[in-house]
Amino acid sequence: MTRLLSGSTLRRGGSGQFIDLKGAQPQLPATETTATGFSLITRADLITEYRSSLGFIEFATATMYSSLPEGTIRIVGSGTAFLSTSTMTGVLVVKGGIGVGGNMHVDKDIVVNSLTIGQGFQGLNNIVLRGVANTNTSILEDGQNSIAIGYDVLTGIITSNKNIAIGRKALSTGSNISNSIAIGDSALTRMGTNNYPLLGTISNVTIVPSTSVTNITTSTPILVSATAHGLSSGTKIILQGVVGLATATGGASILNDTGFWIWRVDPNSFYLYNNRALTIPSIGNTTTFNGSIVSLTNYVSGGTVISPTVLTINTFIDTGTRIYVDGIVGTTQLNMLDYYVDNISTTTIALYNNSILDSPKNSTGFTPYVNSGTVFRYTYNDNNLAIGVNSAPALENGANNFFFGNNLLTALITGSNNTFIGHNVGANLSNVNGTIALGGDNLVDNRDNQVNIGSVFYYDGAGNADINSDVRLGLGTASTGTNSGALVVLGGLGVAGKVYSGGSGVAEENYELYTPIITITTGTAPLNPRLGDIWINTSIFGYLQYIQDGTSTIWLQIVQL
């Protein structure tokens, strides 16, 4: 037995009894666990026990120290299954967290929350971050299926879904984001930070119940009779269940499930128009069917006018804007839902369920309005891809964008469906939609559908294009008419300089043949005109073109510009 104390007298007295300490030593059995030493422990009831100790390791106040000169504490497994396969296996199992004050080296892979970090257990020179995918519990933006690498990255991850953010402050401050990728320092930094900005307040909700059609005339424009329809001019409605005004007897009416804007005649009737400006009237007696104009049948019976709910607000909202409504007292059926706007006036908007405005938000049977209500702009934060340092860092509201380049669109706040490629492009833009830019910066802010390629090509989104270079078109394709050739111009052609024609042709335009002002026999010197030559005469608003009538005579025609 290991001797810890000097003395020759064995312990006298049973367990829990007082002993004679004079010349005594504790009588403790030898065990293999005490081969490197043990510690004596006196319990609160003054009974002395012992615990095994570790060689060269000291314990004090729940702290373990190494007595070796290098200060190293080594834990070595004696079994063969020393590789950890779970939190309950391995040479060392710790129940609770571990804090590491210095660096740490690991020969094998680390598994953290089921995510493997390392080389993947097999092969060489791999960099692996791999996890096991679980079945999605929902498709909501509640913090699923995202990858965040970097400082202050995707900090709104609990309100995100299916995002990838790599780089300091990438996707760092937003929320309610899904299906987006940001790679680069400060890429899409503010995406989703201004969710549902306030647009205005509601002062009234006009409930327009569905009304029955009593008659429809096949006039131009079509006149609909519906008693107490409650509609205002400029409102877009849908007709359903109409019998008649069809291309064949017994066929479906062409009016059903089609959107029309109305011109209010009186409380019981209105005209149908095909455009918002009320300049294109509906034609009630004919229609184009299979490429031919056919007569419509007369009205037979039935029909319901489906009209939208109308809000009175304190601000102007453009048609097509997607909004979110809440806080209405009374007509609470409209709260916490999003709609698309059809602008009726500066203070009234109609609500629709889809962006093409053919599904009115009908409020038949809704509770009458009492007071209050707020309109917010519906924000789009999804399906964006930004690659590059400082790529669209201020963008807060937008969807379906593709940005590739450093310092790209640094001031853009709102925009969707854009494609920008190139460094330092679009720094002057704060709001654009549907714009394409490839290394070009000749873009106008707050204008949609622009196209800019370098300094050469620019389309302004309003029907005008500039090509800032000389242009050569085609591969020599011959023209055989107004719809063929290397260049086809649909419409008039204005030419500020000279026009040279190296070929010949005949205009396919209706023109009037005059008594020839000049008769030239082909081949006569010195004019020797060729078929298709163009002659300019500044006294005529147009251009002069010579054509041949099948003989040797050249006739003069005037083609009006």
**Does residue 85 fall inside a structural domain?**
no
Q: Any residues with CB less than 8 A from the CB of 461 and at least 6 apart, and which?
A: 434, 435, 447, 448, 449, 450, 451
Helices and strands, number each (H, E), in the chain: 0, 39
pLDDT for 347 beyond 80: yes
* Pairing mode, strands 164-166 and 147-149: parallel
Contact 208, 308 (CB under 8 A): yes
Q: To the nearest whole percent, how much of the chain has pLDDT over 70?
A: 77
| Side chain identity at residue 38, one-letter code | F
**Does residue 11 fall inside a structural domain?**
yes
The pLDDT confidence band at residue 57, using thresholds 50, 70 and 90, is confident
Average pLDDT over residues 55-65: 72
Q: CA triplet 100, 101, 103: central angle to 5 degrees?
A: 80
Contact 231, 220 (CB under 8 A): no
CA distances from 366 to 210, 235, 309, 335, 437 (A): 12, 20, 10, 12, 48
**Does residue 311 fall inside a structural domain?**
yes
pLDDT for 550 beyond 90: no
pLDDT for 62 beyond 60: yes
**Does residue 83 fall inside a structural domain?**
no
Residue 101 structure tokens: 């004050």
pLDDT of residue 537: 43
CA atoms 51, 52, 55, 59: torsion sign: negative
Residues 370 and 267 in one domain: yes
pLDDT of residue 313: 95
pLDDT of residue 16: 53
Question: Measured between alpha carbons, how far is 406 from 140 in angstroms, rounded to an integer?
Answer: 32
pLDDT of residue 19: 57
Residues 71 and 190 in one domain: no
Question: Among 322, 344, 377, where does a domain finish?
Answer: 377
Residues 396 and 484 in one domain: no
Residue 397 structure tokens: 């509201």
Give the residue from 275, 341, 352 showing the smallest Cα distance to 313. 341
pLDDT of residue 384: 95
The pLDDT confidence band at residue 531, using thresholds 50, 70 and 90, is very low
The pLDDT confidence band at residue 555, using thresholds 50, 70 and 90, is very low
DSSP 68-113: STT--------SS--S--STT-SS---SS----SS----SS-EEET
Give the residue from 434, 443, 437, 433 showing the smallest Cα distance to 423. 437
pLDDT of residue 536: 45
The pLDDT confidence band at residue 388, using thresholds 50, 70 and 90, is very high
**Does residue 330 fall inside a structural domain?**
yes
| pLDDT tens by residue, 407-417 | 999 999 999 99
* Pairing mode, strands 115-118 and 110-112: antiparallel
How many CB atoms within 10 Å of residue 181?
20
User: Quick one: DSSP state of residue 329?
Assistant: B
Q: Which residues pair with residue 340 across a beta bridge?
A: 322, 352
Contact 320, 355 (CB under 8 A): yes
Average pLDDT over residues 185-203: 89
pLDDT of residue 498: 73
Question: Among 77, 94, 127, where does a domain finish?
Answer: 77
Give the residue from 204, 208, 214 showing the smallest Cα distance to 230. 208
**Does residue 97 fall inside a structural domain?**
no
Question: Measured between alpha carbons, how far is 459 from 49 in angstroms, rounded to an integer?
Answer: 91
Question: Measured between alpha carbons, how far is 352 from 537 in angstroms, rounded to an integer?
Answer: 58
Q: To the nearest whole percent, how much of the chain has pLDDT over 90?
A: 36
Average pLDDT over residues 441-463: 91
The pLDDT confidence band at residue 81, using thresholds 50, 70 and 90, is low
Q: Which residues pair with residue 402 across a beta bridge?
A: 385, 419
Residues 6 and 132 in one domain: no
Count of structural domains within the chain:
5
pLDDT of residue 443: 93
Give the residue from 262, 171, 278, 179 showing the smallest Cα distance to 223. 262
Residues 304 and 447 in one domain: no
The pLDDT confidence band at residue 30, using thresholds 50, 70 and 90, is low
Question: Measured between alpha carbons, how far is 136 from 147 in angstroms, rounded to an integer?
Answer: 15
CATH of residue 215 = 2.40.30.180
Residues 182 and 60 in one domain: no
The pLDDT confidence band at residue 44, using thresholds 50, 70 and 90, is confident
pLDDT of residue 422: 94
pTM of the predicted model over 0.85: no
Residue 550 structure tokens: 């099948």
List strands edge to edge, sheet with 542-548. Answer: 534-535, 542-548, 554-560
pLDDT for 514 beyond 50: no
Residues 355 and 246 in one domain: yes
How many CB atoms within 10 Å of residue 478?
10
**Does residue 86 fall inside a structural domain?**
no
Give the residue from 380, 331, 370 showing the smallest Cα distance to 351. 331
Buried b (16+ CB within 10 A) or exposed e, 167-176: bbbbbbbbbb
Residues 185 and 61 in one domain: no
Question: Among 324, 344, 377, where does a domain finish?
Answer: 377
Residues 254 and 361 in one domain: yes
Of residues 420 and 39, more confidently modeled: 420
pLDDT for 316 beyond 70: yes
Range of the domain at 160: 147-195+380-471
Residues 173 and 157 in one domain: yes
Residues 128 and 159 in one domain: no
pLDDT of residue 502: 64
Question: pLDDT averaged over the chain?
Answer: 80
CA distances from 448 to 342, 364, 411, 420 (A): 19, 37, 16, 14
| Side chain identity at residue 390, one-letter code | N
pLDDT of residue 156: 81
Give the residue from 258, 269, 266 showing the smallest Cα distance to 223. 269
Of residues 521 and 300, more confidently modeled: 300
Contact 363, 381 (CB under 8 A): no
pLDDT for 375 beyond 90: yes
Question: Measured between alpha carbons, how far is 186 from 330 in angstroms, rounded to an integer?
Answer: 45
The pLDDT confidence band at residue 556, using thresholds 50, 70 and 90, is very low
pLDDT for 404 beyond 80: yes
List strands edge to edge, sheet with 215-217. Answer: 211-212, 304-306, 236-240, 259-266, 269-273, 223-225, 215-217
The pLDDT confidence band at residue 134, using thresholds 50, 70 and 90, is confident
Give the residue from 478, 405, 453, 395 showing the smallest Cα distance to 429. 395
Residues 303 and 227 in one domain: yes
The pLDDT confidence band at residue 479, using thresholds 50, 70 and 90, is confident
**Does residue 441 fall inside a structural domain?**
yes
Average pLDDT over residues 303-324: 92
Average pLDDT over residues 136-157: 84
How many CB atoms within 10 Å of residue 231?
24
Give the residue from 305, 306, 304, 308 showing the smallest Cα distance to 361. 308
The pLDDT confidence band at residue 246, using thresholds 50, 70 and 90, is confident
